[in-house]
Amino acid sequence: MSQGDICGLSPEDFFIRMEEFHGARSPGILVGGLMIDTALGELGSCPYVNVVTETVVCLPDAVQLLTPCTIGNGFLQVLDWGKFALTAYDRQSLAGVRVALDPDAVGNYPLIRRWFERSPRGGDKPAFDQLAPEIIAAGRAILAWRPVRLHRALKESSRVPTGRCPKCGESYALRLGPTCPACQGEAYYV
Ligand SMILES: [Zn+2]
């Protein structure tokens, strides 16, 4: 593993993998890779690693691309907080490392700052090919991390009771109410 590698991948290999998985070369995935690399490195050897991201954007794909944790296997939890931060933790000891983008440090990097502080009006976002060298050069300098301890493992470990909805007859999680969410008016289809 050489200097500048991200989770064991050279930047160019990482760019190809993110294009395959995410559909495009993405600054968010690249920063996410640095965050995961930092979190796992600081966490140390950990056979039971789980990850929680604090945004639905980019970071979940970076985690699924670079670690065995996925939404489907439950070892990745995704919080919709709009915070560019994640925590990797040992689901047995609950010891973790939380990594966030450091907004003060980002101010030292004009392109990263323009990407991160997108104005509501949009404005011109720097292109990936411009941004990537600045992100790679900055490396961990744009991140802040610290050890944390989780209150509990976030993966649902007990079986979720299910039963058939009396209105549509389909099976659903009973904790959601007397009928399924669609029959409660939350259907996203007609
Ligand atoms: Zn129903």
- Where are the chain's structural domains? 11-149, 161-190
Give the right CATH number for 11-149 from 2.40.70.10, 3.30.1370.60, 3.40.50.20, 3.30.1330.130: 3.30.1330.130
Q: Give strand pairing partners of 51.
A: 76, 88
pLDDT band at 123 (very low <50, low <70, confident <90, very high): low
Q: Kindly state the average pLDDT of the residues 40-55.
A: 94
Q: Cα(184) to centroid of ligand 1, in Å?
A: 8
Q: CB-based contacts of 161: which residues, under 8 Å, 6+ apart?
A: 173, 174, 175
pTM, full prediction: 0.89
Q: What is the pLDDT of residue 2?
A: 64
**Is CATH 3.40.50 the classification given to domain 161-190?**
no
Minimum mean pLDDT range among 36-45, 62-71, 151-160: 151-160
Of residues 110 and 1, the one with the higher pLDDT is: 110
Average pLDDT of the chain, as a whole number: 93
User: What single string gives the DSSP state of each residue in 90-112?
Assistant: ETTT-EEEEEEE-HHHHTT-HHH
Q: Cα(185) to centroid of ligand 1, in Å?
A: 9
Q: Cα(163) to centroid of ligand 1, in Å?
A: 10
Of residues 159 and 163, the one with the higher pLDDT is: 163
Q: Cα(154) to centroid of ligand 1, in Å?
A: 28
Residue 86's H or E segment, with its range, is strand 85-90
Q: Cα(31) to centroid of ligand 1, in Å?
A: 41
